[in-house]
Amino acid sequence: MDSCLCYFLQIRSDKDKEIHIRYSITGVGADQPPMEVFNIDPVSGRMYVTRPMDREERASYHLRAHAVDMNGNKVENPIDLYIYVIDMNDNRPEFINQVYNGSVDEGSKP
């Protein structure tokens, strides 16, 4: 698989104008296995996906985002983040005609 570091989301507290805030994320894909699928810049709150994802491996992630002050005190209540993986290869075949004619040669292997 190719490596990637793709920015896809930013969390932000309204209190960031008044005090310095540190952001973090918890949950499966962050600090629980599989580890570090997602990470966050603790200063800007920008979230990144660190590697390609496969819906067959895991279809969704539930993370929690946290905002604390420089002393580690909670500034905001944690927010739930739900991330759904869409597999671009999961396209159903389309059958345009009502009837399709085909043939099999006599004595063909199953």
Q: Model confidence at 87, in pLDDT bands (50, 70, 90)? A: confident
Among 5-9, 32-36, 59-63, 77-81, name the one with the lowest average pLDDT: 5-9
Check whether 20 has a pLDDT greater than 60. yes
Q: Tell me the percentage of the chain whose pLDDT exceeds 90.
A: 66
Query: SS in 3 state form for the chain?
Result: CCCCCEEEEECCCHHHHCCCEEEEEEEECCCECCCCCEEECCCCCEEEECCCCCCCCCCEEEEEEEEEECCCCECCCCEEEEEECCCCCCCCCCCCCCCCCCCCCCCCCC
Tell if the pTM clears 0.75, that is, is over it. no
Check whether 86 has a pLDDT greater than 90. no
Check whether 54 has a pLDDT greater than 90. no
pLDDT at 6: 87
Average pLDDT rounded to a whole number, residues 4-17: 88
> What is the rounded average pLDDT for all residues in the chain?
90
Average pLDDT rounded to a whole number, residues 92-109: 87
Check whether 2 has a pLDDT greater than 60. no
